[in-house]
């Protein structure tokens, strides 16, 4: 076991939370960018992470997640990879969820994105229940951590969405009901013990953000509470 520390962050504040007509860089309605506040949070997160010894970043392929880690990656030079373990397809609000932009397109928009990593799991299809979301995240992280152990990597940042971040902390703790805090651009830190289990040292901390914790969220059944009154495809 060489991976000793995992930092996990959620994307910053979304533009579609402040306007009904957000700019869509990838042309996908389910892929809004960060708002002005979200971009500020990304910069603050980047400063916070500078001295944490992070060696690699594994991120959801959605635009807002890549934007969130870009300030850190640009200043640190730490390799950035896409891994579908941190993506989000949670919630039975719709019959289908649209896929993210192709990695080849994302690499053009985010030049620091590396393409020499094969995601731990394929891009999910369909929608996920709470249970399936946890299962999918666990499946991906088990494979990813095994790979990183063999490559002698010690400290990693995972970046995703509320559902995948909460699920990641829970499956690492082996406690699917653990009350994970998960505001935008917040950070959790897990440390691996000698017996291979994980201990949570930081739970959704937002003290590095000037405006503090924003949009903290928790599972509320198989339909996300923020989707219950919407009718369009995510």
Question: From the centroid of its chain, how far is CA 75?
Answer: 20
Average of per-residue pLDDT values in the chain: 91
The yes-or-no verdict on residue 228 having pLDDT over 70 is no
With beta carbons less than 8 A apart as the criterion, state whether 182 and 10 touch.
yes
The yes-or-no verdict on residue 225 having pLDDT over 60 is no
Dihedral pair phi/psi, residue 170, rounded to 5°: -65, -45
Give the chain's domain count: 1
Place of tokens 């003290």: 207
Higher per-residue pLDDT: 39 or 128: 39
Give the per-residue pLDDT at 3.
97
Higher per-residue pLDDT: 124 or 187: 187
173 three-class SS = helix
The CATH number of the domain holding residue 43 is 3.40.50.1240
Dihedral pair phi/psi, residue 206, rounded to 5°: -125, 20
List the one residue out of 76, 50, 86 whose CA is nearest residue 158: 86
The yes-or-no verdict on residue 64 having pLDDT over 90 is yes
The yes-or-no verdict on residue 227 having pLDDT over 80 is no
∠226-127-34 over CA atoms, to 5°?
45
Question: From the centroid of its chain, how far is CA 29?
Answer: 19
The yes-or-no verdict on residue 110 having pLDDT over 70 is yes
Domain extent for 192:
5-232
Measured over all CA atoms, what is the biggest interatomic distance in the chain, rounded to whole angstroms? 50
The yes-or-no verdict on residue 38 having pLDDT over 60 is yes
Q: What is the dihedral of CA 57, 60, 62, 65, to 10 degrees?
A: -50
């Amino acid at each position: 076991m060489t991976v000793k520390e995992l930092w996990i962050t959620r994307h910053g504040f979304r533009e579609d939370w402040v306007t009904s007509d957000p700019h869509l860089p990838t042309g996908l309605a389910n892929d809004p960018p960060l708002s002005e506040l979200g971009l500020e949070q990304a910069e603050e997160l980047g400063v916070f992470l500078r001295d944490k010894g992070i060696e690699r970043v594994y991120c959801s392929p959605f635009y807002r997640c890549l934007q969130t880690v870009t300030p850190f990656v640009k200043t640190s030079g730490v390799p950035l990879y896409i891994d579908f373990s941190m993506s989000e397809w949670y919630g039975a609000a719709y019959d289908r969820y649209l896929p993210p932009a192709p990695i080849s397109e994302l690499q053009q928009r985010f030049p620091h994105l590396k393409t020499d990593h094969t995601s731990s799991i394929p891009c999910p299809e369909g929608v996920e229940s709470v249970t399936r979301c946890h299962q999918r995240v666990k499946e991906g992280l088990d494979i990813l951590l095994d790979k990183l152990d063999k490559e002698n990597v010690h400290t990693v940042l995972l970046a995703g969405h509320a559902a995948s971040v909460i699920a990641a902390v829970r499956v690492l703790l082996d406690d699917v009901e653990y009350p994970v805090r998960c505001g935008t651009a917040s950070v959790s830190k897990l440390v691996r013990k000698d017996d291979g289990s994980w201990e949570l040292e930081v739970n959704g901390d937002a003290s590095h953000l000037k405006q503090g914790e924003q949009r903290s969220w928790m599972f509320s059944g198989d339909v996300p509470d923020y989707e219950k009154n919407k009718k369009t495809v995510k």
